[in-house]
Amino acid sequence: MIYGSICSGIEAATVAWEPLGWKAAWFSEIEAFPSAVLAERWPEVVNLGDMTKIAAAVRTGEVQAPDVMVGGTPCQAFSIAGLRNGLADARGQLTLSYVELANAIDDKRIERGEEEAIFVWENVPGVLTSHDNAFGFFLAGLAGESSELHPSGGKWTHSGCVYGPQRAIAWIVKDAQYFGVAQRRKRVFVVASARKGFDPGQVLFESEGVRRDTPPSREPQTAVAGLTARGVGTCGADDNQAQAGHIIAECANGNISHTLKAEGFDGSEDGSGRGIPVIAFGGGNTGGNIDVAACLTAKGQRIDFEVETFAVHGTQDPDTNHELAHALGRNHGQENAISSGMMVRRLTPVECERLQGFPDNHTLISWRGKEAAECPDGPRYRAIGNSMAVPVMRWIGERITATLPAKKSASDYGGSKTPVEQRNLWQTPIPLFVALDAEFCLTLDAAASADNSLCNRYITEEQNTLRTSWADFLVAPGYAWLNPPYSDITPFVQKAAAESKNQIGTVMLVPADTSVGWFREAIETASEVRFIVGGRLAFINPVSGKPVSGNNKGSMLIIWHPYPRTHCQFTTVERDALMSFGARLIAKREAA
């Protein structure tokens, strides 16, 4: 899935969706600090800036119309933290700009014969109660209605759906605390699409019915019951129960207790044993009542009835600040410690990142000429607070993936029985590479490993060629060689196009399929498409090391020159001529 992001912030969506295999086509962020975070973390993804200008660029083809668009327009117009001016606020009007961009994306995709996009939107619950019915206008725009929608019950509920003439829409309020983060953060999430067979309600709504797990039935048994009305968690006779003065332990489970007074004895107010019961506390301390009483002992396991005391066993390390050392002792630095006294402190930026589900120090970047270690906290707090909860966004991405009908990837080979993981590692025939190296001086294998690299310099999967600057590896004036994983070619096309703007040339070997989206994208930026004719290539199987027979697709070379192009040129080259030329060069080298 290829997605575009508006009001990107520090990209909770990308952190959430990258593990799902989704790729970002573009971001849109205007604030300086979040834009710097995007440039630091995803330098290969373009930031388009002002979202109100993207719709026109999509319609002209300058900006890609992605499979998914995601974004949370500014919430201040609807939040209690702002003035709640709704659509009268310029920030509130960006909800309507979101609709305009959604329409432009769908129009462009329909024009190109592609399915309509899926749209994901997030905001504060206050948008549901905006005085000017901003949510009704937003839903109407997405649904394709000519006038605002009104809730049937007088106010918008926390979940619902609309099926309009243009799109189906579903919304729900989700709280981040139920997705594994330690904060209460309720937000409205909207999913909308005109795609046939895709129901947004299946993404956001979950069945409340669950499979019951009743305990197995057991046969009745005969046992001796306790003699007293309330035993101490056992069944059976107890000699002590027949003795005078035996105390019956009782657990106090009420929410409100009696007022304690300085009279009476045996834990009662009037000396009768009634009133305040004897309370069994857990673990020999006064931490609170428990449902099952512990064994009663003299003085209730308390060291001193007059003074609250605590028995502590533990090590100091978890209880202290690691930057401060304790006094040296005779227990090898593992002295018992107790934390006494409290004070309020604000959360650190790292703690805030964790509360939103981001990796530690996601927002710790070089800023305004200072090193990352000196990055101020203020911009980090603001950027984190304006972002989304990553676990919720990941859940939405997973639900979208599960809802989409299963279909064969457009980059798959029709009828191929070779496992995808092997096809992604098919190696280039050496004579072909040698022939191309003689023409282009290939000095960098941009997607390889130490075992299969065809150049002395290469970028491994761990180094992530999509995020790595090729200028750090390439030996100028040579070209980069790229035989990308055929299961997902699009991001490699985008990367080669981006590197060409940095005066780095690329030669890419791909299937000769002109019907897929990545080919249309490639010819908009590449200098030449060279079809290999006269036969199909026999790639090298990475497992057997032998040529793969029965390749059912032809191949082509897409070439980005390191200098400005005027247009994309289409040419052909004979397979046998290439292979023969490469084989002669190899023979000469071996003979020398």
Residue by residue, DSSP assigns 561-580 as: -SS--SS-EEEEEEHHHHHH
Q: Residue 337 and residue 346: Cα distance in Å, rounded?
A: 24
SS3 annotation, 208-253: CCCCCCCCCCCCCCCCCCCCCCCCCCCCCCCHHHHCCCCCCCECCC
271 class by beta-carbon count within 10 Å (0-12 exposed, 13-18 middle, 19+ buried): exposed
N-terminal to C-terminal alpha carbon distance within the chain = 50
Q: In what helix (H) or strand (E) does residue 556 lie, and over which residues does it extend? A: strand 555-560
Beta bridge partners of 48: none
Are the CB atoms for 486 and 516 separated by under 8 Å?
A: no
Residue 122 DSSP code:
E
Q: Residue 589 and residue 157: Cα distance in Å, rounded?
A: 75
In whole angstroms, what separates CA 551 from the centre of its chain?
37
Q: Which residues contact 190 (CB under 8 A, 6 or more apart)?
A: 119, 120, 121, 122, 138, 142, 169, 170, 171
Establish whether 75 is a catalytic residue.
yes
Taking the CA atoms of 483, 485, 490 and 495 in sequence, report the sign of the dihedral they define: negative
222 class by beta-carbon count within 10 Å (0-12 exposed, 13-18 middle, 19+ buried): exposed
Which of left, alpha, beta for 106 (phi over 0: left; psi -120 to 50: alpha)? alpha
Virtual torsion, Cα 344, 346, 351, 353, nearest 10 deg: 150
SS3 493: helix
In whole angstroms, what separates CA 299 from the centre of its chain?
54
| Selection from 6, 46, 181, 52 nearest residue 498 by Cα | 46
The packing angle between helices 377-385 and 32-41, to 10°, is 90
Catalytic option among 7, 75, 352, 455: 75
| Selection from 281, 335, 333 nearest residue 310 by Cα | 281
Q: Residue 189 and residue 9: Cα distance in Å, rounded?
A: 17
Q: Residue 505 and residue 326: Cα distance in Å, rounded?
A: 59
Catalytic residue positions?
A: 75
